[in-house]
Chains A and B, each alone.
Chain A
Amino acid sequence: MNITLRVWRQAHGAPKGGMQTYQMQDVSPDMSFLEMLDLLNEKLTVEGIEPVAFDHDCREGICGMCGVVIDGSAHGRGASPVPTTTCQLHMRSFADGATIDVEPWRAGGFPVIKDLVVDRTAFDRIIQAGGFISVNTGSAPDANAAPVSKVDSDRAFDAATCIGCGACVAACPNGSAMLFTSAKITHLAMLPQGQPERWSRVKGMVAQHDAEGFGNCTNIGECAAVCPKEIPLDMISELNRELMHALFKKDAK
């Protein structure tokens, strides 16, 4: 395959960047999208040009480190037949001779560090605001002491599959991180272990979400459409219900 790539290049610390065009020859359809970028970088390095910086690590769709906008859609969802992370997108999803645009996540809460790399530490701070169960090591009761119905357990699991990649934010016209936040709220709210901190958790996490500069949800649904783990949009409804309840609870901070 021959591909024309237009890649966002932005120097570290520079306020602005721009698209650069590169021609790629002999791309195999079995390569992953990131292997194609590796090939570009090998070529650039030999030519003495600094390679394109992009985040990636596990390359099996679970660590959440990779993520770029491809032809306008996060993780290249528009090109893929199934939900995917960037690393699990393969070149067979593109036509020979295609021109492909590659850009970083674009959102107020995710400043660009360099080229395609953004700063997502805001997600860690949202978790710090309550996305946990306060249990110290060594004090846990027997694992089977509190049975959990399979329905609740499965729902908790569906929410807990979130990999924190940030595609939801990148896809949302409001730059909202509500899908990410709601996934953690739902995960912990479904479990008996999550009950004691249920109301303070949702208030704390939503407040931090807003403080990070993420926008609000207006039910557009782009987030769920690009989510590689298919976190459903109704998790945000769950978050809103939790928040409404929390506002009337005395024990919530």
Chain B
Amino acid sequence: MATQFVEEEVATTTTSDQLWREGAELRDAKAPGGPIEGKWHKRQFEAKLVNPANRRKLTVIIVGTGLAGGAAAASLGEAGYNVLNFCYQDSPRRAHSIAAQGGINAAKNYRNDNDSTFRLFYDTVKGGDYRARETNVYRLAEVSAAIIDQCVAQGVPFAREYGGLLDNRSFGGVQVQRTFYARGQTGQQLLIGAYQALERQVAVGTVKMYARHEMLELIVVDGRARGIIARDMVTGEIETHLADAVVLATGGYGNVFFLSTNAMGCNVTAGWRAHRKGAYFGNPCYTQIHPTCIPVHGETQSKLTLMSESLRNDGRIWVPKRAEDCDKDPRQIAEQDRDYYLERIYPAFGNLVPRDIASRQAKNMCDEGRGVGPAVNEKQTDGSIRNIRRGVYLDFADVISRIGRDGVAARYGNLFDMYAQITAEDPYETPMRIYPAVHYTMGGVWVDYDLMTTITGLYATGECNFSDHGANRLGASALMQGLADGYFVLPNTINDYLADAPFPKVSPDDPAVLEAVAGVKERIDTLLSIDGSRTVDSFHKELGHIMWEYCGMERTDAGLKRAIGLIRELKAEFWRDVKVTGVNEDFNQALERAGRVADFFELGELMCIDALHRRESCGGHFRAESQTPDGEALRHDEEFLYVGAWEYAGDTPVLHKEPLEYEYIELKQRSYK
């Protein structure tokens, strides 16, 4: 059969410090030629089809039940395939898509403000700092409108105006109002829509649901993905599930930082296991640090909470002009003594600049000594201790005086309540304190236009893949991409592969299956038998500190090299000294976490290597060595206009570059001024 991607031979080189090697160039071979407006239709027409009568003979495994996985499972079930759907939670409705707050973009132009498919495409590529693939992003913009139609038909209660039509609001990085929302719970409502569609398929028997199951290995037979090894998290049984194709919809890996806005269970294990089996990992260092999160309260904090970006529509961000004002009650600081720094530096976009810019400026203000909130001792990269405040104000006084407290409550009530509950401060009375936190990972498993990975028959969708957001994701685009992949893209591309199925039957006694099972069992036995002195969480926290310090909002050559060394030491210590209580044949949450953290070590190392090799700043990846005179991210297009796709090769990963071609959008240094 045809190879899934084209490799061009180039000489293999090894970098001087031996951290990685460079391999052959990589290209997407699935996007058809012709004008960009016609590519998706052309691909849909050219893709091979599967006769409806044959679909029920084909089995598709989908791992994950969030917007991408749940939507794909429901849609493929409706199409008639035999779907096996897995999630680690107790119900598919818990997937972390549910926590998305602000909204979902769609090029509907319901507001008559000059929006269009092309503008959404343009905004997304520009917002991603010109590191996304044009073809994929155009398609995303193209299917966006149908997502809203689909969700409304399912009963998703989007916000409406008094005339009964849908309401919109604006989001960061754009100047049109194209964001559809359901109060501050848009993700919840969209996910419940997908979940209901999924349960409908479970009821008719096209989808079989495996909740409380965790994928621990991918089964590859004769070069094709043919199944997974999953652990039943209640009984500990190691199960083999075979299929004709496997889809990963397992979300992002922000929990490598320990503290993030991700759910506690979010992990990279499925993607990483696939990576180790041959799936390339794209742009692992592209991490989104979200500007509006509730600041960290102390060492025992387990997760961070996002305050939706939609708050930046009406909230004004500021810090005191003078450091000596920082411990004052903010209400006592006079207007002329406040620095509304985003409005000052970026007059055109103001508080609605993209996330990477808002985050970095918040960090800069705090680094200057003008942060607010409690001062904490922070270890600096040179080892010294600095007493510093990590927070900026997000102030609603203006909007409250304009539309009243009730008006604000109608827009953001649940967010204000959540803030009050967590911090014991009333944001109607005193400004919120916010600080950036890890929120989303643009990087992920490399896929082609069909969303197939470099392993034949293995697909990756949603946040799990790398494809649409470049080096920075715009607000309200994650929900759009998850549902685009799940409802519309994958169900129209996977048929091209399945048309050649059924593939030769795989026996549960096949050597590849037995090897996968044995590998999983051995790893579990090892984790349980080390019986060291440190808990899994203590390792995870330490890894998170390293990642945040050296691979967080600002990265340097020296820091990243140091981080790689520290991670390797910590990983070795983990495998020597971790303590995992209990047995496999039980409901054992310590064992679950241990396996996830073990994979985070390997991923963290690759993220640092990727960040080290990319000696430019772009989007969420800010290299201190590469900035404009006024401190903005400085790209180097002549050298780094490519996707960094990494092949697993033990300690020395192999870099495959996929060149990015911009035919429709002119490369520019981003400006939001």
Q: State the Cβ distance, A9 to closest chain B Cβ, in Å.
A: 13
Chain B 478-522, CB-CB to A under 8 Å as 1, else 0, gives 000000000110010000000000000000000000000000000
The answer to whether B538 touches A133, judged by C-beta atoms less than 8 angstroms apart, is: no
Beta-carbon contact of A133 and B154 below 8 Å: yes
CB distance from A214 to the nearest CB of B (A): 16
- A35 vs B297: C-alpha distance in the bound complex, in angstroms? 12
The answer to whether B579 touches A141, judged by C-beta atoms less than 8 angstroms apart, is no
Judged by a CB distance under 8 angstroms, whether B3 is at the interface is no
B149 adjacent to chain A (CB < 8 Å): yes
Q: Residues of A within 8 Å of B, CB-based: how many?
A: 76
A177 in contact (CB, < 8 A): no
Q: Is B525 an interface residue (CB 8 A)?
A: no
A58-115 at interface with B (beta carbon < 8 Å): 58-65, 82, 84, 88, 90, 92, 113-114
Cα separation A243 to B263 with both chains bound (whole Å): 38
Taking CB as reference atom, which chain A residue is nearest B182? A157
B418 contacts A157, CB within 8 Å?
no
- What separation, in Å, do the CA atoms of A197 and B305 have in the docked complex? 38
Min distance, Cβ B221 to any Cβ of chain A, angstroms: 30
In Å, the complex CA distance between A153 and B306 comes to 26
In residues 191-215 of chain B, which contact A (Cβ within 8 Å)?
192, 195-197, 199-200, 202-203, 209, 211
In the bound complex, residues from chain A placing their C-beta under 8 Å from that of B203 are 128-129
Q: Is the CB of A45 within 8 A of B581?
A: yes
Question: What mask results when residues 150 to 165 of chain A are scored 1 for a CB within 8 Å of chain B, else 0?
Answer: 1001001100110110
Q: Is the CB of B421 within 8 A of A188?
A: no
Q: Is the CB of A88 within 8 A of B421?
A: yes
B115 contacts the other chain (CB 8 A): no
Interface of A is mostly: loop
> Among B151, B153, B188, which residue has its beta carbon within 8 angstroms of that of A141?
B153
Contact check, B98 vs A58: say whether CB atoms are below 8 A apart: yes
State whether the Cβ of B313 lies closer than 8 Å to any Cβ in chain A: no
Residues of A within 8 A of B488 (CB): 137-138
Known A-B contacts A30-B298, A38-B537, A188-B155; A65 and B199 likewise in contact (beta carbons under 8 Å): no
Can you list, as one digit per residue, whether each of A104-136 has a CB less than 8 Å from chain B (1) or not (0)?
Answer: 000000000110010111011001110111111
Band of interface residues on B: 35 or more
Complex Cα gap A134–B201 (Å): 10
Q: Is A48 an interface residue (CB 8 A)?
A: yes
B185 at interface by CB-CB < 8 Å: yes
Residues of B within 8 A of A251 (CB): none
Q: Could you say which residues of chain A place their CB within 8 Å of the CB of B261?
A: 60
Instruction: Tell me the minimal C-beta distance from A21 to chain B in angstroms.
Output: 19
Output the least CB separation between A232 and chain B (Å). 16
A127 and B99 in contact (CB under 8 A), knowing A46-B579, A88-B421, A187-B157?
no
Query: Across the interface, do B155 and A193 meet the contact criterion of CB distance under 8 Å?
Result: yes
Of A49-57, A168-176, A217-225, A234-242, the segment with at least 4 beta carbons within 8 Å of chain B is A49-57
Asked whether A252 is an interface residue with its Cβ less than 8 Å from the other chain, the reply is no
A127:B183 contact, CB within 8 angstroms: no
> A23 on the interface (CB 8 Å rule)?
no
- Is A25 in contact with chain B by the CB < 8 A criterion? no
Is B189 engaged at the interface, CB distance under 8 Å to the other chain? yes
Could you say which of B160, B187, B420 contacts A153, with CB atoms under 8 Å apart?
B160
| Other-chain contact of B78, A28, A88, A137 (Cβ < 8 Å) | A137
Q: Which of B85-93, B269-277, B439-447 contacts A (4 or more CB under 8 A)?
A: B85-93
A141 to B145 CA separation, bound complex (whole angstroms): 11
Contact B587 A12 (CB under 8 A): yes
**Smallest beta-carbon distance B299→chain A, Å:** 9
Write the chain A residue with the least CB distance to B534: A46
Partner of A64, one of B94, B146, B581: B94
Given contacts A124-B199, A143-B149, contact A57 B264 (CB under 8 A): yes
> Is A137 a contact partner of B148 (Cβ separation < 8 A)?
no
Q: Least Cβ distance of A105 to chain B in Å?
A: 12
Alpha-carbon distance A153/B167, docked complex (angstroms): 12
A45 neighbours in B (Cβ, 8 Å): 535, 579, 581, 590
B568 close to A (CB within 8 Å): no
Contact with A along B621-642 (1 / 0, CB 8 A): 0000000000000000000000
Contact A28 B90 (CB under 8 A): no
Contact indicator per residue, chain B 313-340, by CB within 8 Å of chain A (1) or not (0): 0000000000000000000000000000
Residue in contact with B150 in the complex, picked from A50, A90, A124, A137, CB distance below 8 Å = A137
Q: How far apart sit A114 and B199, CA to CA, in the bound complex (Å)? A: 26
Asked whether B164 lies within 8 Å of A59 as measured between CB atoms, the reply is no
Say how far B77's CB is from chain A's closest CB, in angstroms. Answer: 10
Q: Which residues in B have their C-beta under 8 angstroms from that of A149?
A: 164
- Say whether B53 faces chain A, with CB atoms less than 8 Å apart: no
* CB of B25 within 8 Å of the partner chain: no
A45 vs B93: C-alpha distance when bound (angstroms):
31
Residues of chain A with a CB closer than 8 A to B157's CB: 153, 156-157, 160, 187, 191
Complex: A119 Cα to B233 Cα, angstroms:
12
Known interface pairs A133-B196, A156-B157; A140-B152 also in contact (CB < 8 Å): yes
Are A46 and B146 in contact, with the CB atoms below 8 A?
A: no
Q: Among A12, A60, A132, A191, point to the contact of B234 (Cβ < 8 A).
A: A12
Flag if B582 contacts A34 (CB, 8 Å).
Answer: no
Contact of A147 with B by CB under 8 A: yes
Residue A213 interfacial (CB < 8 Å): no
| Any B CB within 8 A of the CB of A32 | yes
- 4 closest pairs, A vs B, by CB? A147-B164, A132-B196, A140-B153, A128-B203
Chain B positions near chain A (C-beta within 8 angstroms): 71, 74-75, 78, 89-96, 98-99, 108, 110, 146, 148-155, 157-166, 182-183, 185, 187-189, 192, 195-197, 199-200, 202-203, 209, 211, 234, 261, 263-265, 297-298, 300-303, 305-306, 417-418, 420-422, 424, 487-488, 491, 533, 535, 537-538, 579, 581-582, 586-587, 589-590
28 CB contacts below 8 A, A to B, read A28-B297, A35-B300, A38-B537, A58-B94, A58-B98, A59-B302, A60-B261, A63-B98, A63-B263, A88-B418, A90-B421, A124-B199, A124-B202, A129-B203, A131-B196, A135-B154, A138-B487, A138-B488, A140-B149, A140-B150, A143-B108, A143-B152, A143-B158, A147-B160, A148-B160, A150-B164, A188-B155, A193-B155
Name A residues whose Cβ lies closer than 8 Å to a Cβ of B.
12, 28, 30-32, 34-35, 38-39, 42, 44-46, 48-51, 53, 55-65, 82, 84, 88, 90, 92, 113-114, 117, 119-121, 123-124, 127-129, 131-144, 146-150, 153, 156-157, 160-161, 163-164, 187-188, 191, 193-194
